[in-house]
Structure 1
Amino acid sequence: MRVGIAAGYWGSGPPRNVERMLAEAEALGVDSFWTAETYGSDALTPLAWWGAQTSRIKLGTSVCQMSARTPTALAMAAQTLDHLSGGRVIIGIGASGPQVVEGWYGQPYPRPLERTREYIEIMRQVWAREEPVTYSGRHYQLPLQGGSGLGKPLKSIVHPLRDDVPVYMGAEGPKNVALAAEIADGWTPLWFSPKSDEFYRTALAEGFSREGARRTADDFEVANVCWLLENDDVEKAAARLKPTVALYAGGMGAKGANFHNDVFARMGWGEVCAEIQELYLSGRPELAAQAVPTEMVEDVALVGPADKIIEEIETKWKSTCLTTLILGGWPKPENRARILEAVQS
């Protein structure tokens, strides 16, 4: 298993000490560095800014919101950054949910799987640069249908450094995970738990079995952000993540339209998730966080003393379908080498 690190998306401002963490990570042989976006900081600017200070580590987005950019715009950004980094870019994309897509980006959300397929097909046309890009889909048309009538097919001026930049899909539900296995180069889960490994392996196998599938289980990547919070007191470590779990399970979306809630429910936390959601949506996020059991945090994150974290990596996480464990937290200096070795050995 490879190891990555994540700087995530920002809270009220940029995270501190990313430059130092990234320099240490590259020196220690960490494989990849990842940024993200929701409706605040974007994923590409921090990746380019911090990535410019590196020479080897892969640079990934986990994820870029599809609704934030047209397929050609993201393809342009990807090939630009790929040139500047010497071919180190991984473009992770995601459909997000209707609250963000329609509320923040002002774009329609319906039929996200179909939209994802069209999006990736257009990006790959741009990078292949075999002919001017044309596309006639339900969601995207190039040239635009019903416009001025003056649009014309165009070919990228830039010759991509790589004609096939790796594309990973952010996905949580079984249909979307299967789609990732069918058409993408990798999958980036959210709130992955080792106890759900068989469920996801089944969904991936469905995608690999489809006619024309791009990859097989042997050359498909699964890169998951796993929060890492060290503290000799497990409860104190878990408490730091409970507000975030409550936000996703309770506040990210409406009742019946919260995909993160569904993920935790599949782990067996359905009744707890219903309580968390009720508290969060009624304007009581602090109580929602208090309703998150420590065991629920432990299902999806590495929390507690270093010895416990290392044991769980070796006995739970390394036997899953994951190929890269992206640490959402930088281990303490005195434990760093041991924790990284536990993932990589």
Structure 2
Amino acid sequence: MKLGLNLGYWQRHGDDATESVLAAERLGYDSVWTAEAYGSDAFTPLAWYGARTTRIKLGTSIAQISARPPVTTAMTAMTLDHLTGGRLLLGVGASGPQVVEGWYGQPFAKPLARTREYVEIMRTVWRREEPVIGEGPHYPLPLPGGPGKPLKLITHPLRADIPVYLGAEGPKNVALAAEIAEGWLPLFAFPSKIEEMYGASLADAPDGFDVAAMVMVVISDDVRAALDGVKMMLTLYIGGMGARHRNFHADIIGRMGYAEAAEHIQALYLAGRRDEAFRAIPDELADGISLVGPPGRIRERLEPWRRSPVTSLLVMGPRDEPTLKIVRDLVLG
């Protein structure tokens, strides 16, 4: 199992995690990942960290496809991959209707078809075999009826096969990742349930396909307090990170076997009863998707992850070098 550090996106204030990234590189972490929602973007911090490191891989988890046309993401990825000596791992995803329509002002229709088309265009850009023509309905290139003509990327990419990961939660999205991408980035993973939930979707994944699961890690002797930290995160995602009738995060919690709880939590949250929503998060759910407690407890709870389809563990939470070292020793030792 490979080990990565997931920094997420900035919260209220800027977050220069250079010291954490340097520590992770010294300790042998395979990768570091940044994210975006509607605050900091995913690529700029990676360029910052890439300029200060030499080995660690640099991943976006995820870059939202509605934020940029596919050729823009392809250009950005090619540039960053060149500058960092071929270290980019490009995670992309459709996000959700609340962000896509509310922040980017783009329609959210047909996310699977749009994702497929998006990735096809990026790969065409990087291969440079011919001018880029987008024949699909979502990203037509050149624009029909206009003066534009098909163009080919000026710069020769360092790699024509930049690894693409998909952020996906539904079974069809995961199957798409197994078909067209090099990896899958699950946000919430319950290791003992992955095979049941996604076994069919992953059945045709090629050798080397990377299931890079994000997992919140809290090393503490106070298990109750650590679980409460996970529950706070779940309260926000289940309750507020989606529209009332279309919340992919609540849906995935439902598929884990907590559908009734997810519906109740979302209803409480949207009614402004956030403390009650927090208390409604089952401890079993919070514990199942995270690694919390003293090192001995975490070592035991790593076993289901090792038996699962997960091939990379992207830890969220630890930042200081001593804690990162403990995590490294637990996962890789």
Tell me the TM-score range normalised by the shorter chain. over 0.9
Contact 1:195 1:267 in 2 (8 A): no
Match of 1:201 in 2: 199
SS in 2 for 1:340: helix
The number of residue pairs the alignment matches comes to 332
Secondary structure of the residue that 1:136 maps to in structure 2?
A: coil
The TM-score with structure 1 as length reference comes to: 0.93
Identity %: 53
Shift of 1:272: 1.4
What are structure 1's unaligned runs of at least 5 residues?
Answer: 209-214
Q: Distance in 2 between matches of 1:220 and 1:260?
A: 24
Amino acid at match of 2:68: R
Once the two structures are superposed, what CA deviation does each residue of 1:266-294 show, in whole Å capped at 9, x if it has no partner? 22212211111001111232332222122
Q: Does the C-alpha gap of structure 1 residues 185 and 316 become closer, same or farther in structure 2, counting only changes over 3 Å?
A: same
Counterpart of 2:65?
66
* 1:82-121 correspondence runs (5 A): 82-121=81-120
| 1:332 Cα offset (Å) | 6.4
Determine which of 257, 272, 288 is the counterpart of 1:283: 272
- Distance in 1, Cα, partners of 2:152 & 2:320: 48
Distance 1:27 1:89 in 2: 18
Aligned to 1:7: 7
**Alpha-carbon displacement from aligned partner over 1:139-180 (angstroms, at most 9, x marks no partner):** 01000114xx21011111111000111000000000000010
- Tell me the residue number matched to 1:161: 158
Of 194, 214, 221 in structure 2, the residue corresponding to residue 232 of structure 1 is 221
Say yes or no: does 1:30 pair with 2:18.
no
Tell me whether 1:274 sits opposite 2:263 in the alignment: yes
Aligned counterparts of 1:334 and 1:57: Cα–Cα separation in 2: 18
Cα shift readout 1:58-85 (whole Å, capped 9, x = no counterpart): 0000100000000000000000000000
SS in 1 for 2:307: coil
Determine if contact 1:243/1:285 at 8 Å carries over to the other structure.
no
Residue of structure 2 in register with 1:325 after alignment: 313
Shift of 1:190: 1.1
Q: Which range is displaced more, 334-343 or 59-68? A: 334-343
Code of the residue aligned with 2:215 in structure 1: it is C
SS of aligned partner of 1:55:
coil
Structure-1 residue corresponding to 2:184: 187
Tell me, yes or no, if structure 1 residue 341 matches structure 2 residue 332.
no
Q: Judging changes above 3 Å, is the alpha-carbon distance between structure 1 residues 334 and 12 closer, same or farther for their aligned structure 2 residues? A: closer
Shift of 1:243: 2.0
Contact kept in structure 1, 2:192 and 2:308, CA below 8 Å: no
Which letter maps to 1:114?
A
C-alpha distance in 2, partners of 1:225/1:78? 22
Query: Structure 1's 84 and 150: CA in aligned 2 closer, same or farther, altered over 3 A?
Result: same
Instruction: State which of 238, 247, 258 in structure 2 corresponds to 1:258.
Output: 247
Contact 1:128–1:163, Cα closer than 8 Å, also in 2: yes
- Aligned-pair distance for 1:333? 5.3
CA distance in 2, matches of 1:188, 1:38: 15
Name the aligned partner's letter for residue 59 of structure 2.
G
CA RMSD in angstroms, aligned pairs only: 1.5
- Paired residues of 1:226 and 1:300 also in contact (CA < 8 A): yes
1:186-216 Cα deviation digits (max 9, x unpaired): 11011111122212222111xx2xxxxxx51
For residues 294 and 335 of structure 1, do their structure 2 counterparts lie closer, same or farther at Cα, with a shift above 3 Å needed?
same
1:327 CA displacement:
0.6
Cα distance, 1:255 vs structure 2: 3.2
Q: Which residue of 2 aligns with 1:241?
A: 230
Separation (CA, whole Å) in 1 of partners of 2:330 and 2:9: 26
Kindly state the Cα deviation for residue 331 of structure 1 after the two structures are TM-superposed. 6.9
Match of 1:298 in 2: 287
Matched letter for residue 174 of structure 2: V
- Whole-Å Cα distance in 2 between the matches of residues 202 and 256 of structure 1? 27
Counterpart for residue 221 of structure 1: 210
Q: 1:331·1:339 contact (CA, 8 Å) conserved in 2?
A: no
